[in-house]
Chains A and B, each alone.
Chain A
Amino acid sequence: MTEPLKPVYLEDKLKQVRGDGHLRYRSRSLPTWCPGCGYFSVAEGVTVALNRLQVPLKDAVVVSGIGCASRFPFFMDTYGLHTLHGRTLPVATGVKVANEALTVIAVGGDGDAFAIGGGHIPHAARRNVDITYMVFDNGVYGLTKGQTSPTSVYGFVTPSTPYESHDQPLNPLMMLLSYGASWVGQAYAGHQHHLSDMIAEAIAHRGFSYLHILSPCVTFDKTEMTYANLDIRVRDLPADHDPSDRLAAMKHAAATGHPALGLYFREERPTLGDGFADVATRAGRKTKTGAARAGGKKKTAKSK
């Protein structure tokens, strides 16, 4: 590294880091991911984001499925729910339906999300349940030791595809954009600060927000989604990209060779919660539909 490097002083840094209060979102116990895992970066991002939004610990719920990524709740000091393989979103939906006041964050890996759990995503998206879904995409199965995953590159050699995989990888961003997710973004574990910003935005968004996080697996992928690789490949979404333009977003999402980081798409529309509210009002008497709609647009109280 030959760029000019001014002296950095530890106690200044410690003041900054320990001062801002994001450490309180961490669990006491150290994460058990492999040293070097990108998930550490996500963990850092989530704590920073929740802190920035001043979400009280008691009001945050992190829901996960099965897989390395799904160990995440154990490393947070918020409410956590570690469920079954692929069943993250239904459980998270239930939590949200039961208590609109909660900030619900669903997390999982690419296998949990797009293989066994793939069937649940479109429905969570079209209902626009007001939760944030983060997929830590490392393109490989970690917990079962390195088999191919739905986002693995074509021709990936793994113990379960010793003669190369012959399946095309999914394009999660395209899927979510077409599923009708109301907020779709992408970040990269190697860019810690940008990642934190995106997570904060995703959580703040009202509706189903989907954040796709490129996160290298240092143990089982030495060739494809490595830091070295992604550092070169990733780019920022062009400054002139209009996040309300779904087709433009899809165009960018299609260019997988150089994954673009940033906010792809955002729209404000009634959430599942609004729907319940609407049904409630319709079912009840003496209320005008119009009022209901207006009420529906009103932001449901979030204790943020």
Chain B
Amino acid sequence: MVDRNGSTDIQFAIIGSAGDGTIAAGDILKRAMAGLGYKVIAFDIYPAEIRGFGKCISRVRVTTEQAYSLKRHSDVLVSLDDSYAIPHVGEVCDYGAVIYEASPIARLPEGAHITAHIRPTQLPYGLNQREISERATSAARSRNIVILGYLAGLYGIDPQAFRDVIAAKFERKAAIVTTSNTTAFDAAYEVGRTVFKLDQGSLGEPAPAKSGETATMMTGNGAIVRGCIDAGLDTFFGYPITPATTILERLAAELPRHGGRVLQTEDEISAISATIGAGYAGARAATATSGPGLALMAEMLGLGVMGEIPSVVFVSQRGGPSTGMPTKTEQSDLNMAVFGGAGDAQRIVLAPTNVDGCYRTAGKAFEMAEKYQTPVIVLLDLYLSNRYETVVPPAKNPFAPDLNKGLEAWRGDGDYQRYQQTEDHVSPRALPGEDGGMHTVTGLEHSELGKPSDLPENHMAMSAKRHEKLKAALTHPDFTICKRFGDEGPIDVGILGWGSTFGEILEAMFAAQAEGIRCSAMKVVMLSPLPEEQIAAFMDDCDAVLLPELNYEGQLANLISGALGRPLTRLNRATGAPMQVEEILAEVRRLARAKAA
């Protein structure tokens, strides 16, 4: 658990059945560790059922320096339900610990208890989870808290950090909930503290916080919310859909405090409609959904493009097509985000690669929507939306409050032309209520005046206008549209990536460099319009280019090879699970060997 250079790198995996409080336990654990100043990256996997059945896993990686992805091997596995945990025992590293229920209720056939599967190289810790909980609270419900107390005791982690989080977590519930859970925690802490320790190691100290910085822990969705608020979001319309729901919930709780308005509509169609309406009226407006919802919104987004109305749509991707795998992660809505809808309907598509990126991208999305008068789609995925990272919020608000090229920019004579052709293809935009700016927005193709017109040259010109204005986004101030990491100059293997997968890509790159492979990685944040020059330049440096993404078709690979016509190696995974660092590394090695040969 304490690695070579003495700094902490320990990954916990808590596995149980839905209803065991697995996810809640993981949540308390990561918050407590972050509270102690550790860097945390965490990701939960849970089934669609609310309770009763289905596997839940909460993985929490605690490090001194921020890690970029989860490890394949966990150092500690806690089983709240052996039937689900047993297949994962192999995930525990040598001299890693396996903590399990020592006295199950039901008679078990041979092999049904986890002790049958723990390797001699792993450390078994039997714990009477249920009994400790029942002793402390007369009910078994606190088993998930019990294992936390045990972990704290076992690894000498400050129990107060947990007590605080527990208190905070159950704040809105009856006081008894907090007290009984704390009792259970303390009881188990004592057990963990006094149990014979099979491994003498304890956690290394967290890195001291830089002065003035207070690191907090956020999910991708949490960072989106923070970004929205800092960017001055006015209205938000949403409809619950996994994994975007928490954006709605968080904004519903927080936006009103900042003068914004949130409404849960009856469906996605209504949500995007209201968003477009508010955008027309000059509000910074947004909605959030997932693939199926985006599909419903396609037509209305078309109106947004056609009417050149600012709007921001956050799309957290999940396994598709159709209802697909609502609780599994995937990067397969890229095509729909970039191309979806009727007609030539280009819009800006951004894809942050980590939680901190979610914050910046969210804010910048509003700047761009406003500045370039277009819908902006921000592509997340379940893995990024739900995973926790410790981030340091910027000291001062980095987002421009108002970039609207307003009526005052109208220089022409005669009637105000909402769609006037200009240098930068962006027309002055009057907002309802502004004198002298009256106009009509329509989904019909229209003239500069906004009057319906299907003249050939007009449609050509307007199409050009709607596409050309977006090019400026490629140089939008203070925003990373793509970025290169790792070795400079000529490269054996270059890795291109987008979205959440880039974390694994970075870890793989570091590993490859450690093995002496000249390796470099580039993340592409702006997917439409595509930063073709930078990508081309990067590919020039590389003998081989690898593009790992979580979909079956290789959607970004198609986009790039379509745009640049260059060869690249695809690594497509559509398993519903995040990419494995080892998978990427193996591919990098293969390409490096191929080059050497």
Q: Do chains A and B touch in the complex (CB under 8 A)?
A: yes
Q: Please report the C-alpha to C-alpha distance between residue A150 and residue B238 in the assembled complex, in whole angstroms.
A: 15
Identity of the chain B residue whose Cβ is nearest the Cβ of A66 in the assembled complex: B323
Let me know if A9 is at the binding interface, CB within 8 A: no
Q: Is the CB of B50 within 8 A of A68?
A: yes
Mask: chain A, 133-145; 1 = CB below 8 Å from B; 0 = not = 0000000011111
Q: Is the CB of A85 within 8 A of B264?
A: no
Q: Is the CB of A86 within 8 A of B267?
A: yes
Which parts of B36-57 form the interface with A (CB within 8 Å)?
48-54
The residue that B245 contacts in the complex, of A118, A144, A161, with Cβ under 8 A, is A144
Given known contacts A141-B240, A160-B240, A162-B252, A32 and B49 CB-to-CB distance under 8 angstroms = yes
Chain A CB within 10 Å, residue with most, of B50, B238, B242: B50
Q: How far is the CB of B564 from chain A (nearest CB, A)?
A: 38
Q: Please report the C-alpha to C-alpha distance between residue A143 and residue B323 in the assembled complex, in whole angstroms.
A: 13
Q: Is the CB of A34 within 8 A of B249?
A: no
Q: How far is the CB of A115 from chain B (nearest CB, A)?
A: 4
Q: Is the CB of B267 within 8 A of A116?
A: yes
Q: Is the CB of A219 within 8 A of B248?
A: no
Let me know if B35 is at the binding interface, CB within 8 A: no
Q: Is the CB of A160 within 8 A of B267?
A: no
Q: How far is the CB of A168 from chain B (nearest CB, A)?
A: 14
Q: Please report the C-alpha to C-alpha distance between residue A34 and residue B52 in the assembled complex, in whole angstroms.
A: 6
Q: Please report the C-alpha to C-alpha distance between residue A49 and residue B19 in the assembled complex, in whole angstroms.
A: 32
Given known contacts A84-B323, A116-B267, A147-B240, A160 and B51 CB-to-CB distance under 8 angstroms = no
Chain B CB within 10 Å, residue with most, of A34, A68, A118: A34
Q: Please report the C-alpha to C-alpha distance between residue A30 and residue B292 in the assembled complex, in whole angstroms.
A: 29
Let me know if A196 is at the binding interface, CB within 8 A: no
Q: Is the CB of B267 within 8 A of A115?
A: yes
Across-interface contacts of A21 in B (CB, < 8 A): none
Q: Please report the C-alpha to C-alpha distance between residue A85 and residue B322 in the assembled complex, in whole angstroms.
A: 11
Q: Please report the C-alpha to C-alpha distance between residue A162 and residue B253 in the assembled complex, in whole angstroms.
A: 6
Across-interface contacts of B240 in A (CB, < 8 A): 141, 144, 147, 160
Q: Is the CB of B19 within 8 A of A34?
A: yes
The residue that A115 contacts in the complex, of B262, B266, B322, with Cβ under 8 A, is B266
Q: How far is the CB of B96 from chain A (nearest CB, A)?
A: 32
Which parts of B241-263 form the interface with A (CB within 8 Å)?
241-242, 245, 248-249, 252-253, 256, 262
Given known contacts A147-B245, A160-B240, A163-B256, A142 and B50 CB-to-CB distance under 8 angstroms = yes
The residue that A34 contacts in the complex, of B50, B238, B266, with Cβ under 8 A, is B50
Identity of the chain B residue whose Cβ is nearest the Cβ of A144 in the assembled complex: B240
Across-interface contacts of B249 in A (CB, < 8 A): 147, 159-160
Let me know if B239 is at the binding interface, CB within 8 A: yes
Residues of B in contact, count (CB < 8 Å)? 26
Q: How far is the CB of B456 from chain A (nearest CB, A)?
A: 39
Q: How far is the CB of B386 from chain A (nearest CB, A)?
A: 13
Identity of the chain A residue whose Cβ is nearest the Cβ of B256 in the assembled complex: A163
Main secondary structure of the interface of B (DSSP, over half): loop
Q: Please report the C-alpha to C-alpha distance between residue A116 and residue B293 in the assembled complex, in whole angstroms.
A: 12
Given known contacts A142-B50, A147-B240, A219-B51, A160 and B248 CB-to-CB distance under 8 angstroms = yes
Q: Please report the C-alpha to C-alpha distance between residue A68 and residue B373 in the assembled complex, in whole angstroms.
A: 40
Q: Please report the C-alpha to C-alpha distance between residue A141 and residue B262 in the assembled complex, in whole angstroms.
A: 18
Mask: chain A, 97-114; 1 = CB below 8 Å from B; 0 = not = 000000000000000000
Across-interface contacts of A151 in B (CB, < 8 A): none
The residue that A161 contacts in the complex, of B242, B252, B292, with Cβ under 8 A, is B252
Which parts of B318-347 form the interface with A (CB within 8 Å)?
322-323
Which parts of B82-126 form the interface with A (CB within 8 Å)?
none
Q: Please report the C-alpha to C-alpha distance between residue A220 and residue B51 in the assembled complex, in whole angstroms.
A: 11
Across-interface contacts of A33 in B (CB, < 8 A): 49, 52
Which parts of A31-79 form the interface with B (CB within 8 Å)?
32-35, 66, 68
Mask: chain B, 222-244; 1 = CB below 8 Å from A; 0 = not = 00000000000000001111100
Mask: chain A, 149-171; 1 = CB below 8 Å from B; 0 = not = 01000000001111100000000
Given known contacts A144-B242, A163-B256, A32 and B248 CB-to-CB distance under 8 angstroms = no
Across-interface contacts of B238 in A (CB, < 8 A): 160
Mask: chain B, 542-556; 1 = CB below 8 Å from A; 0 = not = 000000000000000
Given known contacts A66-B323, A143-B50, A159 and B266 CB-to-CB distance under 8 angstroms = no
Q: Please report the C-alpha to C-alpha distance between residue A36 and residue B325 in the assembled complex, in whole angstroms.
A: 26
Q: Is the CB of A159 within 8 A of B19?
A: no
Across-interface contacts of A159 in B (CB, < 8 A): 249, 252-253
Let me know if A148 is at the binding interface, CB within 8 A: yes
Q: Please report the C-alpha to C-alpha distance between residue A35 and residue B52 in the assembled complex, in whole angstroms.
A: 7
Q: Is the CB of B241 within 8 A of A144?
A: yes
Q: Is the CB of A116 within 8 A of B266?
A: yes
Identity of the chain B residue whose Cβ is nearest the Cβ of A34 in the assembled complex: B51
Mask: chain A, 248-285; 1 = CB below 8 Å from B; 0 = not = 00000000000000000000000000000000000000
Across-interface contacts of A219 in B (CB, < 8 A): 50-51
Q: Please report the C-alpha to C-alpha distance between residue A66 and residue B239 in the assembled complex, in whole angstroms.
A: 13
Q: How far is the CB of B261 from chain A (nearest CB, A)?
A: 12
Across-interface contacts of A161 in B (CB, < 8 A): 252, 264
Chain A CB within 10 Å, residue with most, of B53, B54, B242, B322: B53
Q: Please report the C-alpha to C-alpha distance between residue A115 and residue B267 in the assembled complex, in whole angstroms.
A: 7
Across-interface contacts of B241 in A (CB, < 8 A): 144
Identity of the chain A residue whose Cβ is nearest the Cβ of B239 in the assembled complex: A116
Q: Please report the C-alpha to C-alpha distance between residue A223 and residue B49 in the assembled complex, in whole angstroms.
A: 22
Identity of the chain A residue whose Cβ is nearest the Cβ of B173 in the assembled complex: A222
Across-interface contacts of B239 in A (CB, < 8 A): 116
Q: Please report the C-alpha to C-alpha distance between residue A115 and residue B51 in the assembled complex, in whole angstroms.
A: 24
Across-interface contacts of A144 in B (CB, < 8 A): 240-242, 245
Q: How far is the CB of B181 from chain A (nearest CB, A)?
A: 17
Q: Please report the C-alpha to C-alpha distance between residue A220 and residue B242 in the assembled complex, in whole angstroms.
A: 17
Which parts of A208-232 form the interface with B (CB within 8 Å)?
219-220
Q: How far is the CB of B140 from chain A (nearest CB, A)?
A: 13
Across-interface contacts of A34 in B (CB, < 8 A): 19, 50-52
Binding site for B on A (CB under 8 A): 30, 32-35, 66, 68, 84-86, 115-116, 118, 141-145, 147-148, 150, 159-163, 219-220
- In the assembled complex, 11 residue pairs joining A and B whose CB atoms fall closer than 8 Å, in A order, are A30-B53, A35-B51, A84-B322, A85-B267, A115-B266, A144-B245, A147-B240, A147-B249, A147-B264, A148-B264, A160-B252
Other than the known A85-B292, A144-B241, what 18 A-B pairs have Cβ atoms closer than 8 Å?
Answer: A30-B53, A32-B52, A34-B19, A34-B50, A34-B51, A35-B51, A85-B267, A141-B240, A143-B48, A144-B242, A147-B240, A160-B248, A160-B249, A161-B264, A162-B252, A163-B256, A219-B51, A220-B50
A-B interface, 5 closest residue pairs, ranked by CB to CB distance from nearest: A144-B240, A116-B267, A159-B249, A115-B266, A34-B51
